[in-house]
Amino acid sequence: MFIMFISMSGIGLIIPIMPTYLKGFGGEGTVLGFLIASIALAQFIFSPLAGTMSDRYGRKNLIIIGLIINGIFMTMFGLANHLYELYIFRFLTGVGSAFITPPVMAYVADITTGKERGKAMGLIGAAISFGFMIGPGIGGLLSNVNMHFPFFAAGGAAIVAAILTVFLLPATKPVLVQEKGIGSGNIIRDMKTSFSTSYFVLLVVVFIFTFGIANFQSSMSMFLTYKFSYSPNEIALILTAGGFAGVIVQSLLLAKLFKKFGEMRIILFSLIIAAIFTVLMVFVSGFFLILVVATIFQTATTLIRPAVNTLISYSAGKEQGFASGMNNSYMSLGNMIGPAIAGTLFDIAMPIPFLLGGVVLIFCFVITYIWSKKSPITTAS
């Protein structure tokens, strides 16, 4: 939980300052979209490798490597002088992130069984949301020093987390994957293998809902900056409020919601809510209403990820590293394509990314609902 908090707070920390930071490089919506896409591209390519390597060589080693890479290149991002350097350092930061998330998810599966796993995934989700909640607030505060300082803080925090991981995180025994063709670490081969897994449709769902969510998240800071002239501190407050609500729900209510309604119903309900409030962002004005819409959207999306992660974990059996790696790859694919398209569409007309995101989330709801009726997943006891 601490590792994911540090990793995600480093990402969240830079969100409110990026529009202002990029002005120094002559960049706007398209540049921001492709910068977000570059980190997602790295995660898409390297997540299967990280998941497979964690099966063979242990989760802890991969996590430490990922934190170090993340810390180094987050710091380099703050030292960049040219736009092309931003793309390079952001991509390499994504490589580090790819070596963190799949091993962490697989680690959670290693140390939990049955219904405990849903609660554990919810707690990991709460740590991620807490990172996103704290990150923007810290980023807005640190930007008062200068626009480069937040990147140095994020990089330093990742390095400290790597050192603490060496001494404080117990190693779990690697689970060697025996099935032929499972876990090659080659993105093309593993993508083909994923087509035949029992959880393939869930991976497609991960891609689609991530695509829709990314339209909102990557566009919101630009939207608030250019339409309402909000400062980094105001954007940080909006993101922090949503993150706080997500943390409360995930840490205190998620396990009860899973138990009462089941993961699939939570996913379906949250997709509808996220779709509605994505579109509403186009039509609201005034700080309070924007805060409410963004908070409800973020709360809904924080429920989707741990629910999907839990269902994939139930279906994966001994393929936890491979499944976690593919989960992160499909998520990264959505994070890569979504912001790239959203940034381009934002420069055409600001409302388009939000409208597209709403349509995509409704489409995801339809696919998930149909599949859930045909292939129900039984929760382990």
- Rounded CA gap, 90 and 100, in Å? 15
Establish whether domains 1-172 and 183-376 are of one fold.
yes
Long-range contacts of 282-289 (CB under 8 A, 24+ apart): 282/351, 282/354, 282/355, 285/228, 287/234, 287/238
Cα distances (Å, whole numbers) of residue 317 to 81, 172, 347: 47, 17, 45
| Domain boundaries along the sequence of the chain | 1-172, 183-376
CA distance 205 to 328: 12
- Beta carbons of 319 and 199 less than 8 angstroms apart: no
Residue with token string 């994070």: 335
Task: State the pLDDT at residue 95.
Answer: 92
Under CATH, which number does the domain 183-376 receive? 1.20.1250.20
pLDDT string in tens for the chain (381-residue length):
999 998 888 877 777 787 778 877 876 667 777 787 788 788 888 888 888 888 888 889 999 999 999 999 999 998 988 888 989 998 999 899 889 988 998 898 888 876 687 778 778 877 877 776 677 778 878 888 888 898 999 999 999 999 999 999 998 875 544 444 455 556 778 888 888 888 888 888 888 888 877 777 668 877 888 888 888 778 878 877 777 787 788 778 877 888 888 888 999 999 999 999 999 998 998 889 999 998 898 888 878 888 888 888 877 777 777 887 888 788 878 877 877 788 778 888 888 888 988 898 899 899 889 888 876 655 544
The three-state secondary structure class of 268 is helix
State how far the Cα of 63 lies from the Cα of 338, in Å rounded to an integer. 27
Cα four-point dihedral sign 273, 102, 134, 255:
positive
Taking each helix axis from N to C end, the angle separating 232-248 and 287-316, rounded to the nearest 10 degrees, works out to 50
Residue that the structure tokens 């849903």 belong to: 118
Distance between first and last Cα of the chain:
24
Determine the pLDDT at residue 180.
46
Cα gap 121→105, rounded to integer Å: 8
Q: Burial code of 325-340, b = ≥16 C-beta within 10 A, e = fewer?
A: bbbbbbbbbbbbbbbb
For residue 318 the two structure tokens come to 């001994």
Looking at the chain, how many residues does it have? 381
Residue 289 corresponds to which tokens in the numbers above? 């209403």
Q: Tell me the three state secondary structure of residue 354.
A: helix
Q: What is the pTM of this model?
A: 0.70
Q: Please tell me the number of Cα atoms within 13 Å of 271 on its side-chain side.
A: 26
Report domain 1-172's class: mainly alpha
Q: Quote the pLDDT of residue 224.
A: 87
DSSP 351: T
d(CA 162, CA 173) in angstroms, rounded, equals: 20
DSSP state of 375: S
Q: Report the pLDDT value the prediction gives residue 174, as an integer from 0 to 100.
A: 59
Grouping H, G, I as helix, E, B as strand and the rest as coil, residue 273 is helix
User: What digits encode the pLDDT tens for the residues 102-130?
Assistant: 899 889 888 887 668 777 877 887 787 77
DSSP-derived secondary structure letter, 253: I
Q: Reduce the DSSP state of residue 115 to 3 states and report it.
A: coil
Please state whether 299 falls in left (phi above 0), alpha (psi between -120 and 50) or beta. alpha
